[in-house]
Structures are given as structure tokens and as C-alpha cells.
Amino acid sequence: MKHDRPRRKARGVGIYALLALFSLSALFPIYMVVSNSFKLKKFIFGSPFSLPDAHTFSLIGYQTVFARSNLTLNFLNSGIVTLVSLFFILLLGSMAAYALSEYKFKLNRFLGFYLAIGIMIPIRLGTVGILRLMAALGLVNSLLGLILIYIAQGLPMTVFILSNFMSQVPDELKQAARIDGASEYRIYSFVLPLVRPALGAIGIFTMIPIWNDLWFPLIVAPSARTATITLGVQQFLGQFVSDWNAVLSSLTMAMVPIIILYLVFSGQMIKSITAGAMKS
């Protein structure tokens, strides 16, 4: 066995070298944008690879962004849309998932299948119909319209995953509560905290596409008043395409909040995916 050791060591180094190489390629474009957003224009072109220092540092791009864009309002819109949608996706989704996993009734299998259609068929394909519906309801250029679309978009996956998790909650617990005379609503409120890890993972995974979406803001709510951050940045970039400082700064501003959020939750997020996989 002894002669194996150098070979195994070499392989270990190889693995880390490969991982480091791919990680660098994942980080490099992000690094280029963030670091150059803090430089004078001359140095964005003169020394693009170096970090900003006292000599090259500048906030001129950020000043342009704050003076000329609506990014603050865009952030606020995205925050409202994402959080409100998320709240209702988790609330309504967990209620439906609870009913589907807990009660045996005639339409159970049909409803489960019906709600699962949206997992595979993207909601975008119904855009022509959605825009007509929004016009009929007077919800064009409103955050409420976006929120309703995103709730519909997020529910299928949420119901599907949560009903799997909820069916693993032991029956004795619920039966005991029932014997004590607890109402069905109360039992739901007992079960909900037991699937909290799943709620967390689903929360992050439904939140990211909503925050990042370009399609529905562009089509259903393109007005300056309702533009989300993704749409706002897209339009700002179009207008300021030749102002490199402003472009790099707005990209950085749009990126940094989601990266921070991701770094804070990534451990938990991946842990809950893998935990889900272990169970099934």
C-alpha cells in the first residue's frame, strides 16, 4: 500500500488545481467588473487587471448612476415584488401541499398532477394571454400584476416539494393533536415549522428567478415607476452604453446584493438540497 501514497497525493493536487481553475473562471468576469467600477476611466483601459489603488480610485461611475438612474426605486420595486410573492408562494403553497399530503379525497391525485404541470411548462408560453388578462384587469404597469404572475409561477414547484416533505411528518403527532380536539388549521400550523429547512431552500430557489426576471417586467410592467432592478439596469445600460464608469458601477450595484445574500445563505441552501436527496 505504501507505494500508492505519492500517486494519491498527486491526484489530490490535480483535483484542487482543476477546481481552482474552474473557480477562477467563474470569478474572473465578476472581479473584472467590480474592481474596474472603482477606477478612473483612463485606468479601466490602461490597467484593467489590477485592483484599484489610491492613484486609480474613483467613484465617478457611482455618482453618475445615482444622479441619472432610478436604481433606488428599481431596488425598492424588486424588493416589494420578490418578498410579497415569496410570502404568498410559501403560505398558499404550504397550505395546498399540506392538504394534498394529509387528506385522502377524490380529486387528490388529479389536483397534484394539475398543479405539477407548471413545473415543466414555463409560464412564459402563456404571455399573450397573460398580457390580455392584465389589460382586462387593469393591472398593466402595476407591481400587483407582477406579483400575481410570480405567485402562479412559483406555486407548482413549491407544492410538489413541500408535499413530499410533509408526507414524511409522522402521523402519530397529528393524530394525537386531533384526539385533543385541535382543528385542522391548528394541525397545519404544527406541521409547518417541522418542514422549515425545506421552506428555506424553496424560498431561496423561488426568490432568485423572481428577482432576476427580465421577461415579465419588460412586457407587463415596463413603466419607469414599476421597473424592477433587472429591467432598470438593462435600460440604464442601453442608454449609457458608452459611459464605461457608469456601466461598470451599475452592474456592480445590481450584482452585489444578490451575491451577499447568496454567500449568507449558500451553506444552508446546499445543505437542505442534499438533505432532501439523502431522504428520498
Cβ 225 vs Cβ 76: under 8 Å: no
Cβ 248 vs Cβ 268: under 8 Å: no
Under the criterion CB under 8 A, does residue 135 sit at the interface with another protein? no
Total residues in contact with another protein, by rule CB under 8 A: 93
Q: Which is nearer to another protein, 19 or 224 (CB)?
A: 19
Distance between CA atoms of residues 171 and 98, nearest Å: 13
Site for another protein in 234-273 (CB under 8 A): 234, 237, 244, 247-248, 251, 254-255, 258-259, 262-263, 266-267, 270, 273
Angle (CA) 11-13-15 rounded to 5° is 70
Distance between CA atoms of residues 251 and 44, nearest Å: 15
Cell of 184: 385542522
Q: Name the segment binding another protein (CB under 8 A); options: 19-27, 58-66, 67-75, 192-200.
A: 19-27
Task: Please select the residue that binds another protein; options are 2, 3, 55, 103, rule is CB under 8 A.
Answer: 103
Site for another protein in 31-50 (CB under 8 A): 32-33, 44-45, 48-49
Q: Give min distance, CB of 20 to another protein, in A.
A: 8
Q: Please name which of 201, 99, 81, 209 lies closest in space to residue 159, comparing C-alpha atoms.
A: 99
Distance between CA atoms of residues 209 and 216, nearest Å: 11
Cβ 58 vs Cβ 38: under 8 Å: yes
Distance between CA atoms of residues 202 and 13, nearest Å: 36
Q: Give min distance, CB of 63 to another protein, in A.
A: 20
Site for another protein in 215-234 (CB under 8 A): 215, 219, 230, 233-234
Task: Please select the residue that binds another protein; options are 1, 54, 67, 278, rule is CB under 8 A.
Answer: 278
Q: Give min distance, CB of 100 to another protein, in A.
A: 8
Q: With 0-12 CB in 10 A as exposed, 13-18 as middle and 19+ as buried, what is 255?
A: middle
Under the criterion CB under 8 A, does residue 92 sit at the interface with another protein? yes
- The amino acid at residue 146 is L
Q: Which is nearer to another protein, 223 or 274 (CB)?
A: 274
Under the criterion CB under 8 A, does residue 13 sit at the interface with another protein? no
Site for another protein in 153-172 (CB under 8 A): 153, 155-156, 159, 167
Q: Which is nearer to another protein, 126 or 200 (CB)?
A: 126
Q: Give min distance, CB of 88 to another protein, in A.
A: 8
Q: Which is nearer to another protein, 80 or 126 (CB)?
A: 126
Cell of 234: 438593462
CA-to-CA separations, 273 to 30, 198, 232, 261, 278, in angstroms, rounded: 26, 8, 32, 17, 9
Q: Which is nearer to another protein, 54 or 277 (CB)?
A: 277
Under the criterion CB under 8 A, does residue 214 sit at the interface with another protein? yes
Task: Please select the residue that binds another protein; options are 2, 3, 6, 129, rule is CB under 8 A.
Answer: 129
Structural Rg of the chain based on CA atoms: 24
